[in-house]
Structure 1
Amino acid sequence: MKDWAPPLIASALFAFLSPGVILQMPGRYRPVDFMSMKTSGASIFVHAVLFGLLLMLFLVILQAHLYI
């Protein structure tokens, strides 16, 4: 029996936190830009930190498991 939570959570977070796809923090002209399809080095760093923190929250602190 395999635990499917880590790859599913990581894939969903990667899709939602890709800079410029849904939102970009910090934006080019505002603190948050929506659907800009552009990115910068600062936004890549912020999104990478958010990805790591949320992944640790779900997998280590909350211990999410999904057995199929």
Structure 2
Amino acid sequence: MGDWAGVVIGLVLSVVLSPGLFFQLPGKGRPVDFFNFQTSGISIFVHSLLFFAFMVIFLIAINVQISRG
């Protein structure tokens, strides 16, 4: 009940991996676009896979825990 790692890591990853905010995989004309504030269906799918992979790595493989107290 006191483990905040999932919430904090999920929040940070959702901001960082928002398609088009910092980068977009794949871009419109290039493999990677930076700061274009646009998105496509395939980039949403790729960023969702990256989000899931990083969540699994941080929460299950590394077992990051943030506890109160």
**TM bucket by the smaller chain?**
over 0.9
- The amino acid across from 1:67 in the alignment is S
CA distance in 1, matches of 2:33, 2:50: 16
Task: Name structure 1 gaps, 5 residues minimum.
Answer: none
Q: Percent same amino acid among aligned pairs?
A: 44
TM-score by length of 1: 0.97
Partner of 2:34: 34
Q: How does 1:47-66 map to 2 (within 5 A)?
A: 47-66=47-66
Q: Which runs of 4+ in 1 moved over 2 A?
A: none
Aligned length: 68
Task: Name structure 2 gaps, 5 residues minimum.
Answer: none
Q: CA RMSD in A?
A: 0.8
